Amino acid sequence: MHISRKHHAHRFMFMLLTAGTALAAPAGHELLFKNAQNATALTDADRRAIFDQLGLKVAADGQTLVFSDMDTCPALNPGTGDVQIETADLNGDKKAEVFVSLGSACMFGFAGTGVSLFIQDGSGHWQSHNLGAGMVGVQETRHEGYADVMIGGPGFCQPVLRWDGTTYVFDRNIAEQPGGCDGR
C-alpha cells in the first residue's frame, strides 16, 4: 500500500496539534472557578488574584488541585464538592465578596472544609480572610456595615464571626439544640 507524502504531512500535523492540546492543562484559577456559576461577575484577573492567595497548585494530572505545602493530602476535584465558590454582598456596596470552601479532611479535620473569604479593598486588591473550618452561613445581624458569618461544623454549638473594621473575629456562639453551647 502506498501512502503519499501529503498524507504523512497531514498525519504529522494532526499529531502535533493533538499533542499540544494534551499538554495544555487549564490554569489553576480556571480549575478553581470551573463550576462557579454564581461568580460570573469576576474578571479573569480577579480569579487569578484569589487563586494566588489560596496556597494551591495544579496537580500533575492537570485536572485537579493540591495544597502547595501539603502534597500528601488527596487532590481537590473542582468538578465535585471539593471546591465551592459562593458570592454574597456582605457590606451592601453592590460588589460581591467571595467565599472559597475547600473540602479536605486531611487539612481541616472533622469539619472537612476550610473557608476563606475574599474582600476587594478600595484599591481593587483582594484581601484574604481565613474564617476557619466548617460551612459558611451569612447571618442577618451586622457589625461595622458587614453581615455576620456563622461557620458551622461538627457539634451543636456554632461560632458566629463579626466584622471589626478590618477582619472577621469571633462574636458569639449559636446553639443548634438546647444546651448545645453549655460549657462554652
Cα–Cα distance, 138 to 148 (Å, whole number):
6
* pLDDT value of residue 141: 97
Cα–Cα distance, 137 to 89 (Å, whole number):
13
Is the pLDDT score of 1 beyond 80?
no
Q: Nine-digit cell at 177?
A: 439544640
φ, ψ of residue 37 in degrees (nearest 5): -70, -25
Q: Dump pLDDT digits (tens) for 52-96.
A: 999 889 988 898 888 887 777 788 888 777 888 899 999 999 999
Average pLDDT of the residues of the chain? 82
Sign of CA dihedral 95, 40, 104, 27: negative
The band of 8, judged by pLDDT with boundaries at 50, 70 and 90, is very low
- pTM of the predicted model over 0.85: no
